[in-house]
Structure 1
Amino acid sequence: MKATPLDLRSQRCPMALLLAKRQCAQLSNQETLTILSTDKASINDMIRYFNQSPFSVEVLIQSECSTLLVTKKESF
């Protein structure tokens, strides 16, 4: 599946979480969104949100920027 990029490096919470939620709401089943962020609070909030919703999240932590790979789970 194609990974759609969302650059939130200039955003902070709560705006980063809001933008991530809006973009993920448009995903189709098994589609992935790549989120870039530098704000640790935003990253933690996004991880918490996506772990409680119909998404799976994988986090790649790097020194300056973290990447979240959010995939919409297939609904039955």
Structure 2
Amino acid sequence: DVDIKRVMQGLQDAYAKETPAVPVADMRAQLAGLQQRLRAQALANYKKVAANNLQQSEAFMAANKAKPGVITLPDGIEYRVLESG
């Protein structure tokens, strides 16, 4: 787990140009761990949104395919001729 107090102390020491109370290696390890957890959380959120979008897209395409005049190509593209010409 990230020790926020230690991270904040390290940032304050750096800002004040003081010798850090927390060793630099420890700060880097804490920040790397935090970064890794944030990436994992962002990826999980992305996958959840992507799955929801795919489900909505498939439902839309299925409903659209059933509309009169809609033509579906072999690759799945759907279109409807609005006006011949």
TM range (shorter): under 0.3
- Rg (Cα) greater in structure: 2
Question: Which of the pair has the greater relative contact order for Cα pairs under 8 Å at 6+ separation?
Answer: 1
* TM-score, structure 2 normalization: 0.25
* TM-score, structure 1 normalization: 0.27
- Structure that is richer in strand per residue: 1
- Structure that is richer in helix per residue: 2
